[in-house]
Protein backbone atom coordinates (compact mmCIF):
# COMPACT_ATOMS: atom_id res chain seq x y z
CA UNK A 1 0.00 0.00 0.00
CA UNK A 2 2.91 2.33 0.75
CA UNK A 3 4.83 1.42 -2.39
CA UNK A 4 3.93 4.45 -4.51
CA UNK A 5 4.96 7.04 -1.87
CA UNK A 6 8.29 5.22 -1.48
CA UNK A 7 8.94 5.36 -5.22
CA UNK A 8 7.92 9.00 -5.49
CA UNK A 9 10.29 9.83 -2.64
CA UNK A 10 13.19 8.86 -4.90
CA UNK A 11 11.89 10.69 -7.97
CA UNK A 12 13.36 14.07 -6.86
CA UNK A 13 16.86 12.53 -6.69
CA UNK A 14 16.48 11.23 -10.24
CA UNK A 15 15.33 14.63 -11.51
CA UNK A 16 17.94 16.45 -9.45
CA UNK A 17 20.81 14.44 -10.92
CA UNK A 18 19.47 14.89 -14.45
CA UNK A 19 18.85 18.63 -14.01
CA UNK A 20 22.29 19.39 -12.58
CA UNK A 21 23.97 17.29 -15.26
CA UNK A 22 21.90 18.98 -17.98
CA UNK A 23 22.86 22.45 -16.72
CA UNK A 24 26.59 21.80 -16.85
CA UNK A 25 26.34 19.70 -20.01
CA UNK A 26 24.63 22.57 -21.82
CA UNK A 27 27.36 25.03 -20.84
CA UNK A 28 30.10 22.60 -21.88
CA UNK A 29 28.28 21.71 -25.10
CA UNK A 30 28.03 25.38 -26.11
CA UNK A 31 31.76 25.84 -25.52
CA UNK A 32 32.59 22.70 -27.49
CA UNK A 33 30.30 23.71 -30.34
CA UNK A 34 31.85 27.17 -30.60
CA UNK A 35 35.33 25.64 -30.60
CA UNK A 36 34.28 23.12 -33.26
CA UNK A 37 33.27 25.89 -35.66
CA UNK A 38 36.35 27.96 -34.88
CA UNK A 39 39.47 27.95 -37.01
CA UNK A 40 41.91 27.18 -34.21
CA UNK A 41 43.39 23.75 -35.10
CA UNK A 42 44.56 22.82 -31.60
CA UNK A 43 41.27 23.64 -29.88
CA UNK A 44 39.27 22.10 -32.70
CA UNK A 45 41.30 18.92 -32.48
CA UNK A 46 40.88 18.72 -28.69
CA UNK A 47 37.12 19.18 -28.89
CA UNK A 48 36.86 16.58 -31.65
CA UNK A 49 38.87 14.11 -29.54
CA UNK A 50 36.67 14.82 -26.50
CA UNK A 51 33.46 14.34 -28.47
CA UNK A 52 34.73 11.19 -30.18
CA UNK A 53 35.73 9.61 -26.87
CA UNK A 54 32.51 10.29 -24.98
CA UNK A 55 30.30 9.38 -27.93
CA UNK A 56 32.32 6.29 -28.74
CA UNK A 57 32.40 4.64 -25.31
CA UNK A 58 29.45 3.32 -23.25
CA UNK A 59 28.11 5.53 -20.49
CA UNK A 60 28.42 2.69 -17.99
CA UNK A 61 32.15 2.38 -18.71
CA UNK A 62 32.55 6.13 -18.20
CA UNK A 63 30.70 5.99 -14.87
CA UNK A 64 32.99 3.19 -13.66
CA UNK A 65 36.00 5.19 -14.83
CA UNK A 66 34.99 8.25 -12.81
CA UNK A 67 33.89 6.34 -9.71
CA UNK A 68 36.56 3.64 -9.52
CA UNK A 69 39.35 4.91 -11.79
CA UNK A 70 39.76 8.57 -10.87
CA UNK A 71 40.38 7.92 -7.14
CA UNK A 72 43.23 5.60 -8.17
CA UNK A 73 44.85 8.38 -10.20
CA UNK A 74 44.00 11.33 -7.95
CA UNK A 75 44.13 10.45 -4.26
CA UNK A 76 42.14 13.53 -3.25
CA UNK A 77 39.12 12.07 -5.08
CA UNK A 78 39.09 8.95 -2.94
CA UNK A 79 35.93 10.21 -1.20
CA UNK A 80 33.99 10.90 -4.42
CA UNK A 81 30.36 9.88 -3.96
CA UNK A 82 28.25 7.84 -6.34
CA UNK A 83 25.97 10.82 -7.00
CA UNK A 84 28.93 13.07 -7.87
CA UNK A 85 30.42 10.46 -10.19
CA UNK A 86 27.04 9.89 -11.83
CA UNK A 87 26.46 13.62 -12.42
CA UNK A 88 30.00 14.00 -13.79
CA UNK A 89 29.54 11.04 -16.12
CA UNK A 90 26.15 12.21 -17.35
CA UNK A 91 27.47 15.73 -17.89
CA UNK A 92 30.46 14.75 -19.99
CA UNK A 93 28.68 11.98 -21.89
CA UNK A 94 25.67 14.01 -22.98
CA UNK A 95 27.64 17.21 -23.57
CA UNK A 96 29.42 15.42 -26.41
CA UNK A 97 26.12 14.64 -28.15
CA UNK A 98 24.63 18.05 -27.41
CA UNK A 99 27.71 19.83 -28.76
CA UNK A 100 27.20 18.27 -32.18
CA UNK A 101 23.53 19.29 -32.20
CA UNK A 102 24.42 22.88 -31.33
CA UNK A 103 27.27 22.90 -33.87
CA UNK A 104 24.89 21.72 -36.59
CA UNK A 105 22.46 24.49 -35.63
CA UNK A 106 25.24 27.08 -35.79
CA UNK A 107 26.46 25.88 -39.18
CA UNK A 108 22.89 25.95 -40.50
CA UNK A 109 22.48 29.68 -39.89
CA UNK A 110 22.55 31.78 -43.06
CA UNK A 111 26.09 32.93 -43.81
CA UNK A 112 24.82 36.33 -44.93
CA UNK A 113 23.93 37.20 -41.33
CA UNK A 114 27.54 36.68 -40.30
CA UNK A 115 28.82 38.80 -43.16
CA UNK A 116 26.34 41.59 -42.40
CA UNK A 117 27.26 41.64 -38.70
CA UNK A 118 30.98 41.77 -39.41
CA UNK A 119 30.48 44.50 -41.99
CA UNK A 120 29.00 46.85 -39.37
CA UNK A 121 31.92 46.32 -37.01
CA UNK A 122 30.73 43.53 -34.73
CA UNK A 123 33.43 41.38 -33.19
CA UNK A 124 33.34 37.60 -33.41
CA UNK A 125 32.33 37.46 -29.74
CA UNK A 126 29.44 39.87 -30.25
CA UNK A 127 28.36 38.02 -33.38
CA UNK A 128 28.27 34.69 -31.57
CA UNK A 129 26.54 36.07 -28.45
CA UNK A 130 23.94 38.33 -30.07
CA UNK A 131 23.12 36.65 -33.38
CA UNK A 132 24.39 33.10 -33.79
CA UNK A 133 23.78 31.45 -30.40
CA UNK A 134 20.22 32.80 -29.87
CA UNK A 135 19.13 31.40 -33.23
CA UNK A 136 21.06 28.17 -32.80
CA UNK A 137 19.49 27.67 -29.37
CA UNK A 138 15.99 27.82 -30.81
CA UNK A 139 16.83 25.35 -33.57
CA UNK A 140 18.57 22.92 -31.20
CA UNK A 141 16.13 23.14 -28.25
CA UNK A 142 13.84 20.23 -29.28
CA UNK A 143 16.86 17.95 -29.70
CA UNK A 144 18.36 19.12 -26.41
CA UNK A 145 15.12 18.35 -24.58
CA UNK A 146 15.21 14.84 -26.05
CA UNK A 147 18.69 14.46 -24.59
CA UNK A 148 17.37 15.62 -21.21
CA UNK A 149 14.71 12.92 -21.30
CA UNK A 150 17.39 10.38 -22.24
CA UNK A 151 19.44 11.69 -19.33
CA UNK A 152 16.57 11.06 -16.91
CA UNK A 153 16.40 7.46 -18.09
CA UNK A 154 20.19 7.10 -17.95
CA UNK A 155 20.23 8.00 -14.24
CA UNK A 156 19.18 4.40 -13.62
CA UNK A 157 22.82 3.44 -14.30
CA UNK A 158 23.78 5.31 -11.11
CA UNK A 159 22.57 2.22 -9.25
CA UNK A 160 25.81 0.52 -10.30
CA UNK A 161 27.66 3.14 -8.24
CA UNK A 162 25.58 2.51 -5.14
CA UNK A 163 23.08 5.32 -5.73
CA UNK A 164 19.51 4.36 -4.90
CA UNK A 165 17.49 6.47 -7.30
CA UNK A 166 14.09 5.66 -8.77
CA UNK A 167 14.89 2.57 -10.85
CA UNK A 168 17.67 1.54 -8.50
CA UNK A 169 15.12 1.21 -5.71
CA UNK A 170 13.29 -1.40 -7.75
CA UNK A 171 16.54 -3.35 -8.33
CA UNK A 172 17.64 -3.18 -4.71
CA UNK A 173 14.28 -4.25 -3.36
CA UNK A 174 13.25 -6.58 -6.18
CA UNK A 175 12.00 -9.18 -3.74
CA UNK A 176 9.47 -6.75 -2.31
CA UNK A 177 8.68 -4.55 -5.30
CA UNK A 178 8.55 -7.35 -7.88
CA UNK A 179 6.98 -6.69 -11.28
CA UNK A 180 4.39 -4.28 -9.91
CA UNK A 181 7.11 -2.14 -8.36
CA UNK A 182 9.02 -2.12 -11.62
CA UNK A 183 5.94 -0.94 -13.48
CA UNK A 184 5.36 1.83 -10.93
CA UNK A 185 9.02 2.87 -11.08
CA UNK A 186 8.84 3.00 -14.84
CA UNK A 187 5.62 4.98 -14.63
CA UNK A 188 7.21 7.50 -12.27
CA UNK A 189 10.15 7.82 -14.67
CA UNK A 190 7.69 8.34 -17.50
CA UNK A 191 5.98 11.03 -15.44
CA UNK A 192 9.26 12.87 -15.00
CA UNK A 193 10.14 12.53 -18.67
CA UNK A 194 6.71 13.65 -19.83
CA UNK A 195 6.87 16.71 -17.61
CA UNK A 196 10.25 17.58 -19.11
CA UNK A 197 8.89 17.10 -22.63
CA UNK A 198 5.99 19.46 -21.92
CA UNK A 199 8.33 22.06 -20.44
CA UNK A 200 10.56 21.72 -23.48
CA UNK A 201 7.66 22.24 -25.88
CA UNK A 202 6.56 25.31 -23.94
CA UNK A 203 10.08 26.74 -23.95
CA UNK A 204 10.33 26.35 -27.73
CA UNK A 205 7.07 28.24 -28.23
CA UNK A 206 8.25 31.06 -25.98
CA UNK A 207 11.64 31.51 -27.63
CA UNK A 208 11.91 34.65 -29.78
CA UNK A 209 11.70 34.21 -33.53
Interatomic CA distance for residues 27 and 9, integer angstroms: 29
Q: What is the pLDDT of residue 122?
A: 85
Interatomic CA distance for residues 179 and 170, integer angstroms: 9
Note the helical H segments in 66-173.
70-73, 82-107, 111-119, 124-127, 133-154, 166-172
Q: What is the pLDDT of residue 29?
A: 95
Domain limits of the chain?
12-165
* Ranges in the chain, pLDDT < 50: 1, 174-184, 197, 204, 207-208
Neighbour tally for 137: CB within 10 Å = 18
Architecture of domain 12-165: Orthogonal Bundle (1.10)
Planar angle of CA 47, 64, 26, nearest 5 degrees: 40
Q: What is the pLDDT of residue 65?
A: 92
Amino acid sequence: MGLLPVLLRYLPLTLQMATIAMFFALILACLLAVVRVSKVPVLNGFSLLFISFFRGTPLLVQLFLFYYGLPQLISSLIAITGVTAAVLGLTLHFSAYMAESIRAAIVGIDRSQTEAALSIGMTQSQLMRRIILPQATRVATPTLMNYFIDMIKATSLAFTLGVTELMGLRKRGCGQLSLFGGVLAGGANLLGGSRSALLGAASVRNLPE
